[in-house]
Structure 1
Amino acid sequence: MKKLYLFDFDGTLTYQDTMFLFLKYYNPEKYFWSFMKHIPVFILVKLKLMDAELAKKSFIASILKGEREIKINRKVISFFEEFYPQIIRESALNFLETIDRNHTTCYLVTASLDIWVKPFAKKMGMILLSTEAKFIDGVYTGDFNTKNNNGEEKVKRIKAQISNEKFDKIIAFGDTSGDKPMLSFAHEGHFQFFN
């Protein structure tokens, strides 16, 4: 039986949101001031009066724009070494160990940026489908190469990735409304399964 597993990352496999965690780790002082400035923006997003993608782009850019890719990647490695496996839910780690990798494909499908999620996906043996950061000449532009990978976008990316490949069973795991389309797309959708 050929299976496809689709896992959301933040809040599903992890105990906390990795965007805030990584940006704070990257530059604590800059993070503090940027977070304070973005509080009105976060409120507007919560009230659905502002596009979440724009807010996310603005917040990430306020800390990482203009930073060299090589410097970011060095920080990503130390971030991963410090926080893996502590930020991954124990129940999720136990579940991942039970998967028969010979007949299964696993995707990590996340709205988080590829920048800091790559090492986690690699360690857990998953193909990463994420929001992708845009670099030009080795410098982060503050922009994205793809749409924010959330909601219906997750399903679009999954379909593009699997193309015409057939699976006997597709099983998805998520924890927010942004995962609902992916859970509906799967034969079997699990909401807050590891909580």
Structure 2
Amino acid sequence: MKKTLALFDFDGTITSKDTLFEIAKFSTSKTLYWVKILSLLPIFFLMKIGIIPKSKGKETFLWVFFHGLNEETFNALCFEFCLEKLPMLLRPKAINKISELQKKNTDIYIVSASPQNWIIPWAKQLNINVLSTQLDFSNSSFTGKIKNENVNYEEKVKIIQRNIDLSQYNEILAFGDTKGDIPMLNLASSSHFRPFE
């Protein structure tokens, strides 16, 4: 029996904006948001010129905005973000494609570098699986660190291969929008780069 797997990047593919910055805005006042962003400009510059890896830059960003936040409080914030803000960021063409694939009984996974905390609450509503970056909590408080690996570039392929038996699929579709998605797109039998813009 023929089975199809669909792999979707999240930020920029399903959404129109980077949700890391959007949830940071959502979590604080406009003034404090820009104060924190300005403090991060040296980090952004060092990432741009390749002095520090993107994963370390992301950890610094997360630490500045969410360090020490209680896990329950953080997850409640993420849930609220999914209810109030995320619907306005979704690309209609992407949602239509997901709906179309679900009608064909396609197995759908979101594979994202963004933390699962603000993807899973939304994805659960649509019965979509999530393979995504995990955050590190110690004594129920966010350490500001990523747990294991940042799910981007080759890490996308690794987490797919660890969690999905690809041999059971006759067709693998992949949808992405950045260089970080290329390894996942190369894994697929049918790849789609920026198809919903």
Tell me, in whole angstroms, the C-alpha distance in 2 between the residues paired with 1:100 and 1:59: 35
SS at match of 1:147: coil
Tell me, in whole angstroms, the C-alpha distance in 2 between the residues paired with 1:156 and 1:178: 13
TM superposition shift of 1:143: 1.1
TM superposition shift of 1:13: 0.6
TM superposition shift of 1:30: 4.0
Aligned partner letter, 1:98: E
TM superposition shift of 1:20: 0.3
Identity %: 35
Tell me, in whole angstroms, the C-alpha distance in 1 between the residues paired with 2:117 and 2:33: 17
Q: Which residue of 1 aligns with 2:6?
A: 5
RMSD over aligned CA atoms reads 1.5
5+ residue gaps, structure 1: none
Q: Which residue of 2 aligns with 1:95?
A: 97
Tell me, in whole angstroms, the C-alpha distance in 1 between the residues paired with 2:146 and 2:102: 34
Tell me, in whole angstroms, the C-alpha distance in 2 between the residues paired with 1:21 and 1:164: 33
Aligned pairs for 1:1-195 (under 5 A) are 1-28=2-29, 29-100=31-102, 103-163=105-165, 165-195=167-197
TM superposition shift of 1:82: 0.8
In the superposition, the TM-score normalised over structure 1's length comes to 0.94
Tell me, in whole angstroms, the C-alpha distance in 1 between the residues paired with 2:23 and 2:87: 15
TM superposition shift of 1:104: 1.8
Task: Give per-residue Cα distances to partners, 1:56-76, cap 9 Å, x unaligned.
Answer: 001111111111011112211
Seen in structure 2, the aligned counterparts of structure 1 residues 102 and 194 have a Cα distance that, compared at 3 Å, is: closer
Seen in structure 2, the aligned counterparts of structure 1 residues 165 and 9 have a Cα distance that, compared at 3 Å, is: same
TM superposition shift of 1:39: 0.9
Task: Give per-residue Cα distances to partners, 1:87-128, cap 9 Å, x unaligned.
Answer: 110111111111145632111000001121221221232111
TM superposition shift of 1:165: 4.5
Contact 1:30 1:63 in 2 (8 A): no
Q: Which moved more, 1:57-66 or 1:160-169?
A: 160-169
Structure 1 ranges of 4+ moved more than 4 A: none
TM superposition shift of 1:164: 6.0
Aligned partner letter, 1:37: S
5+ residue gaps, structure 2: none
Contact 1:89 1:194 in 2 (8 A): yes
SS at match of 2:87: coil
